[in-house]
Chain A
């Protein structure tokens, strides 16, 4: 869920998040990076944790602040500038129904290099992924959001999926540019401190994956299991019978006599 403020960029984001978004249009909202109380107030009122705030001034033209909240307090905020923008209306073709779960693709090694980019990737996933579902209709996968990090810019493109016949079961993909496309430049960031971030990541015990006891994994991918057995009487152990090693009756007698003599000696 998200809410969007200010008229300047409302079309594209709102359309992307349509059934789950709330739009607030109000001029003279305070600056998110200085004072976060009004944002938190809105988040509490509309019970939303994701927000997008657009503004435009001489110093920061076409500014967009994407952020998320934890417990109605700001967790992360990232400010990006929009350099090139093509809206849904400018590209004239058929669109996919609103509310479809999009596929997300992040390209470029920049997304793992700096902490800023990593958080941005995490934030964008959180923002655009839609509701979590357990099943998805394969024919209903229509929408792809593609983020490319290149030369300090992030290219955001949305495509409509066309499934073409290929010889085998998996179809061949053709893309048609459909939705909004933007070139973003990273400006300021306000990331949560490490411990707040850790606190927000805490999962309740029920959701944590259950650890299996006595099972360990190797670095090579081998799974090791440990079996605990009771104490065995090794003399009663059934082993392979090697006929050559069988004791002959003469030897057996000799052994018995030795044992007897040992016992007498002890006593």
Chain B
């Protein structure tokens, strides 16, 4: 009798458990795939119940959603949890879905001088506290920066050391030392940056006047000083007997007059072949440059027309009123012209966007989609701006 009651109790307990679990269990043919890092669940089961569209569709969709969500929640509740300030927090794993990046992977930068040194010596960064106790003010202050803990420039009393000149300003000396340190740090930072971008560092060796420079050093310093103007030394006056400065730049290399007969023959035959061929040879670089220049001119003309129209509305001017500029000169002064629309393919039409906000509304993109194809091709094959 008692045995039976014990059995009954056990059976009842089991039934209770099953009932409880039933509330949260969902039966699915195919298991769902979970990516808990993204709080994502994918259900591969074909939604057969919803095949027939009808008035109950919403309810059926909701039932399906409820089932799937229940499964996802079951998974989430099984994650390891922490208690953070009275809230139960689950630690999510890494997301497994591979999504494309927003921006390209950054290139690896070369190590700075300090990093190289530290790597050689095996120096590791020591973990430092954020705040340091400052005796003078009697409070915790930051280690560096504004109102730092041990700022020697802010002292109100400095003892003059025994060997120092009594007329020297010790406060100014400390401030000067600080400025020098800052400048040195800045110089090193810029050098590291230049090294990272592989740009040539302008060397300042021997350019500071010391009083003990040799004739060659002085000559070099003079040269550098001459070229360090806005016009790169073109309009600098010369002393009466001074020689014109040597033009430094790319030296043109010419082939020797006679030597490699095979190569000469080949080049001559190639030239003849090009001259005889019926099909025109396309020099992609020149074609793209020409195209870009034409588009720049068109745009400039348009802009002038717009400004004309605007001005005309304000004050009556003849149609030819603003033709001062005329057609822009070819080549010549166009070196630093505004970046043409699709030419760089980087940021659309910035100048247009900027000017047209208030007034003209309408088209943002004066749309030359047809040409962008050609531009793209040319650009990739090396459309360098040549004059």
Residues on A close to B: CB < 8 A?
26, 28-30, 34-35, 37-38, 40-41, 44-45, 49, 68-73, 75, 101-109, 111-112, 121-122, 125-126, 129, 132-139, 141, 144, 146, 148, 150-151, 155, 157, 159, 161, 166-175, 177, 197, 199-204
Contacts and interface: CB of A to CB of B under 8 A. Distances in A.
A168 B100 CA distance: 40
Given A109-B46, A150-B47, A167-B21, 8 more contacts: A28-B362, A104-B38, A105-B41, A106-B40, A141-B39, A144-B65, A167-B17, A204-B106
B213 to A, nearest CB: 49
Contacts of A175: 62, 65-66, 69
Contacts of A69: 102
Contacts of B89: 135-138
B368 to A, nearest CB: 9
Q: Which of B21, B97, B101 has the most CB of A within 10 A?
A: B101
Interface string B334-350: 00000001100111110
A61 B66 CA distance: 32
Given A35-B365, A125-B99, A138-B81, A177 B44 contact: no
Interface residues of B, number: 71
Nearest to A158: B65
B39 A70 contact: no
A119 to B, nearest CB: 10
A101 B69 contact: no
A126 B99 contact: yes
Contact of A109 (B45, B53, B76, B106): B45
B41 to A, nearest CB: 5
Contact of A107 (B43, B53, B362): B43
A107 B97 contact: no
Given A139-B87, A173-B69, A168 B21 contact: yes
10 contacts: A105-B65, A125-B38, A138-B90, A144-B65, A148-B64, A150-B50, A159-B69, A166-B23, A171-B24, A197-B100
Q: Which of B37, B65, B69, B341 has the most CB of A within 10 A?
A: B65
Interface in B76-123: 76-78, 81-82, 84, 87-92, 95, 97-106
Nearest to B62: A175
A237 B92 CA distance: 49
A148 B45 CA distance: 11
A98 B87 CA distance: 20
Nearest to A153: B53
B51 interface: yes
B369 interface: yes
